[in-house]
Amino acid sequence: MATGGTWIDVGPMGGNGGNTNDMKVSADRIVKMDFNYDTVVYGFTMTYETHGNQQSKYFGGTKRGRSNKEITLATDEYINSLSGYFSQKYYGHTVIVQLTLTTNKGQKLEIGNPQGSNFTLSMDENGKILGFFGRTGEVLDAIGARCYITY
């Protein structure tokens, strides 16, 4: 990561079920994200690069949904907006039911159905979303973003 910046955590947004989960990733860049969902968001696998080395990490619940959707980022592309909805949709528990990611190049990934309470995190041109944390059980209960802000 470039010098002259700071990491901040924003969130988590969503329900308070499940257990605390932190990817513990401070990536230089996100390469791709593969989401698993159905009527709720179950989780995602994030492939990221740190010091030229690529790794993948799963963030989410123990169950799996029927649908998958992937976003692949160009070398100079990064996520600058995360929004979504959470609702009492999973056996009476409040969980993430919809997510939208937008990049600095205008690429957008949308999964799930927008219902319930919404949240939005938008970064200016100096900010990048480079990691995630939150709460997970069987599904994705809550999501927060690890952001890098360049001075």
Which domains are present in the chain?
A: 5-150 (2.100.10.30)
**pLDDT score at 3:** 64
Please name every residue paired with 121 in a beta bridge, in sequence order, or none if there are none. 82
Mean pLDDT, all residues of the chain: 94
Residue 1 pLDDT exceeds 70: no
Question: What is the C-alpha to C-alpha distance for residues 83 and 11, in angstroms, rounded to an integer?
Answer: 12
**Beta-sheet strand order (sheet of 29-37):** 53-60, 41-50, 29-37, 67-72
Question: What is the C-alpha to C-alpha distance for residues 53 and 34, in angstroms, rounded to an integer?
Answer: 19
Task: Report the chain's C-alpha Rg in angstroms.
Answer: 14
Q: Write out the two tokens for 64.
A: 């799996």
Using CA atoms, how far residue 49 sits from 41, 92, 148, in Å, is 24, 37, 14
**pLDDT score at 141:** 98
pTM: 0.93
